[in-house]
Amino acid sequence: MTSTARRILIAEDEAMISMMVEDYVDMLGHAVAATCTTNAQCVDVLDSGEPVDAALLDCNLGDGPVWETARRLKASGIPFAFASGDNGHGLPEDLRGAAVLGKPFMLDSLEQVLEQLLRN
């Protein structure tokens, strides 16, 4: 666990998974910047100026693939990881190389990915 709390954006459209991730983020000593179920909500958070230090993105949200949100984070220099049941096999070419957290995941896996994102 890191000694400095960071603000993590969670993009996940399944309620049980998002609650688990929120709990994990809290257990790791970080804060949830926002939890979004759609790309539109992610854009609203990013447009609001709400501080976001890193993001965990489910590949498919309620309004479609998360690719444009990921591109926006990338352009803003905000590190992110995809949470994917297929280990990121469907990622667009320009987003390959991003961190991928395979679903289902446990606390220790999320901790490793967040440490990697926040270290850079």
Pairing mode, if any, of strands 31-36 and 60-61? Answer: unpaired
CA distances 114 to 13, 28, 62, 63, 74, Å, are 20, 9, 24, 25, 16
pLDDT in tens, the chain (120 residues): 445 789 999 999 999 999 999 999 999 999 999 999 999 999 999 999 999 999 999 999 999 999 999 999 999 999 999 998 777 678 999 999 999 999 899 999 999 999 999 997
Extended beta strands in the chain, E state: 7-11, 31-36, 54-58, 60-61, 64-65, 80-84, 99-102
Query: Is the Cα torsion angle 66, 13, 118, 32 positive or negative in sign?
Result: positive
Q: What are phi and psi of 40, to 5 degrees?
A: -60, -40
The pLDDT assigned to 3 comes to: 55
Output phi, psi for 63, to 5 deg.
-115, 20
Tokens representing 96 are 């390959």
List strands edge to edge, sheet with 31-36: 31-36, 7-11, 54-58, 80-84, 99-102
Q: What is the pTM of this model?
A: 0.92
